[in-house]
Structure 1
Amino acid sequence: MSGRAWRVRRFDLDTGVVSESAQWGAPEGGYVLVRVLAAGAGLPDQMMAKGLFPGLAAPGFGLGEEVAGIVVRVAPGSRYRPGDRIMGITDFMSGWGGYADYTYVREQSSALVPDGVSDVRAAAFPIAYRTAWVALVERTHVQRGEVLAVLGAGGSSGLAAVQLGKAIGMTVVGIASTADKRAAAMEAGADAVVDAASADLQADLREAVGGRAVDVLFDPVGGAVARAAAAALGRGGRLLVVGLASGTTVPIDSMDLLMRNVTAVGVFAGGTTPEEDEAAWVALTRMLADGELAPVVRKEVPYRDVPAMIREHGGSAGKSVVLVSTRPASTPSV
């Protein structure tokens, strides 16, 4: 297969991301080749383009970690067939990103798109919701009635955690830096929101839930704001280290963990077993089909505007999705 692909040729946000011709051969076992319809965007794209993403040290790789698309070729033993519409995580660590006409998708990290779910929403789903599931279900085993505080609650992973927490039956407080992002968290189901710039985040978080301590802190942001929010955790609380949108992970005081019986939990969605992935995708796609989970897409970006989107990432709430291709009118529309 031949087509276009956005690739990082040098670590420069202004000139380093270029669209060029590419070729795709038959997929290896464990992967399928898909014609990309839409691709989800995120902060990692910008980190990759700057040369700051772990494991991608040399230029010459594609961008775009998640897609919705049509299967065009499979390896022997695949559970998919050509023509299936799937969503999943690309083989971006091997250089095959989703901002392209075709890409390879890891079967273990994919699922059929439920009927009635658009290509755009399907492309926005895989990474954020799989990460939220790892954090809240697999790594933390949260319980109905617990208090969940979500940092970066207006971003894609934060909004996914808000929705999943509410679906589980938790009381959810969103923490976000702008009024737009706080409004998005409320629309996603948060019971209350708090300004990330608060002078006393610990007090504001506890006031938001009637004086209760926070049981679980979902932290894709890190830095000083995460440390301030972690002070609101009660005894037995769990600090979920999900990311570092601020540029640094949360500073952890081991003596503080000891004295308050607080647990710090690392969350990496790529470090899961096939059995965990299968169970997660079954549950998540059911919840997506039932409307319990619904990606918040605020911007649809034409293929030609990928470099500008990467440069400007992070200014608004919700998810951006790149529109790569179209399908025949006989199939569900975007």
Structure 2
Amino acid sequence: MQAWQVHELGEPGEVMRLADVEPPAPGEGQVLLRVRAANINFPDALMCRGQYQVRPPLPFTPGVEICGETEDGRRVLANPALPHGGFAEYTVADAAALLPAPDALDDAEAAALHIGYQTAWFALHRRARLEAGETLLVHAAAGGVGSAAVQLGKAAGATVIGVAGGADKAAVARDLGCDLVIDRREQDVVAAVKEATGGRGADVIYDPVGGEAYAQSAKVVAFEGRIVIVGFASGAIPSPGLNHALIKNYAILGLHWGLYNTKDPKLVRECHEQLTDLAARGAIKPLVSERVPLAGAADAVQRVADGVTTGRVTVLPSWENGATA
């Protein structure tokens, strides 16, 4: 089979190599899956660079999220068992963690549902306890995890303010359903949020960016507001002023979604059931901006790493002659 492999650490476009390898052999409790679609996540790029908290042994195949097919023909969502990632024709995954792919979504959309939407759902509902009528501020609203938070926020009855960088991304965020979009390249984010909320600020802030985005969040969080930290796509990890949180009476919440798979996997399944229902009702639908063949995976991962994509970019190993899955 064909699989992308990383033999040395560096930029994805430089260190990912397409190779002919033997299909992986399932270990105890694992199943072999044919990869129907593999979604690209920012951690794939971080793993190539050696900057992610999970560091698989070299050589490894990136790809942490797929829609796959079992040997008995079931269509499932899975997180591949590294070092055998999803940017390949076949992978392996823990049998107990497989989730049924929603019928309402095609392969590419289904592959993009799992990590991003689970992360957003746990952040907004489990950690921040978002309520209908509250104001939700989403940084990087046109990106993979941000777009999921926008849709889930609207589905929960919140007023959603999206922050995006540039006119094209602002247009995407607007199409996703944001009630207000702030172009951080052209507007003062702090001033725009305060004006939109009558000076009150945002009740819940979803931050996958860190750096300057966090600094802005601390200035616009409402009384008894909640800032949820889900990542540091900017590369800058902020140092929160806890005295400021005390004085303004707000909460800083961390979310590492992957921990729920080991600490309380039942919650992951319950979340998946809710996401499946929302997808069936048309309340959410992953924004897949690009579908690329397996041969284009390295370039696509590099584009995600460079922050020039919107929504989700999905790799289709069986894509032929422009067909989509």
Decide whether the 8 Å contact of 1:165 with 1:171 is kept in 2.
Answer: yes
> What is the CA–CA distance in structure 1 between the aligned matches of 2:300 and 2:113, rounded to whole Å?
19
Tell me the equivalent position of 2:5. Answer: 7
Indicate whether 1:86 and 2:76 are aligned.
Answer: yes
Separation of aligned partners in 1, 2:198 and 2:91: 49
Q: Which runs of 5+ in 2 are unaligned?
A: none
% identity of equivalent residues: 35
- Correspondences of 1:47-58 after superposition (within 5 Å): 47-56=46-55, 58=57
Tell me the CA shift for residue 210 of structure 1. Answer: 4.4
Native 8 Å contact 1:109 1:277 kept in 2:
no
CA RMSD between the two structures: 2.0
Aligned counterpart, 2:255: 267
Tell me what 1:280 maps to.
271
Partners of 1:257 and 1:106 lie apart in 2 by 41
Provide the C-alpha distance between the structure 1 equivalents of 2:42 and 2:217, rounded to a whole number of angstroms: 22
Asked if residue 318 in structure 1 is aligned to residue 318 in structure 2, the reply is: no
With normalisation by structure 2, the TM-score equals 0.91
Distance 2:66 2:125 in 1: 24
Q: More helix by proportion, 1 or 2?
A: 2
Could you list the per-position Cα deviations for residues 275-294 of structure 1 after superposition, in whole angstroms to 9, with x for gaps in the alignment?
21121111111111221110
Further displaced range: 156-165 or 308-317: 308-317
Q: Which stretches of structure 1, 4 residues or more, deviate above 6 A after TM superposition?
A: none
> 1:315, CA displacement in angstroms?
0.6
Q: Summarize deviations over 1:11-61 as a string: whole Å, max 9, x none.
A: 1334421122133223432x4321001110122222111121122165311
Distance across 2 between alignment mates of 1:200 and 1:98:
40
Q: Deviation string for 1:43-92 (max 9, x for gaps)? A: 222211112112216531111111111112xxxxxxxxx2110123222x
Shift of 1:266: 0.5
Structure 1 residue runs without a partner (length 5+): 73-81, 328-332
Matches within 5 A, 1:185-264: 185-197=173-185, 200-264=188-252
| Number of aligned residue pairs | 316
Give the match for residue 294 of structure 2: 303
The separation in 1 between residues aligned to 2:159 and 2:188, in whole angstroms, is 21
Q: 1:98 aligns with which of 70, 81, 86?
A: 86
Please give the TM-score of this superposition, normalised by the length of structure 1: 0.89
Distance 1:169 1:199, change over 3 A: closer
Instruction: Determine the C-alpha separation between the residues in 2 that align with 1:159 and 1:323.
Output: 21
Paired residue secondary structure (2:259): coil
* Contact in 2 for aligned 1:108/1:278 (Cα 8 Å): no
The structure where strand makes up a greater share of residues is 1
CA distance in 1, matches of 2:266, 2:290: 34
Q: Which residue of 2 aligns with 1:67?
A: 66
* Pairwise CA distance, 1:126: 0.8
Q: How far, CA to CA, are the matches of 1:258 and 1:244 in structure 2?
A: 23
Q: Does 1:124 align with 2:122?
A: no
- Distance across 1 between alignment mates of 2:22 and 2:15: 17
1:309 partner letter: A
Instruction: Give the 3-state SS of the residue equivalent to 1:212 in structure 2.
Output: coil
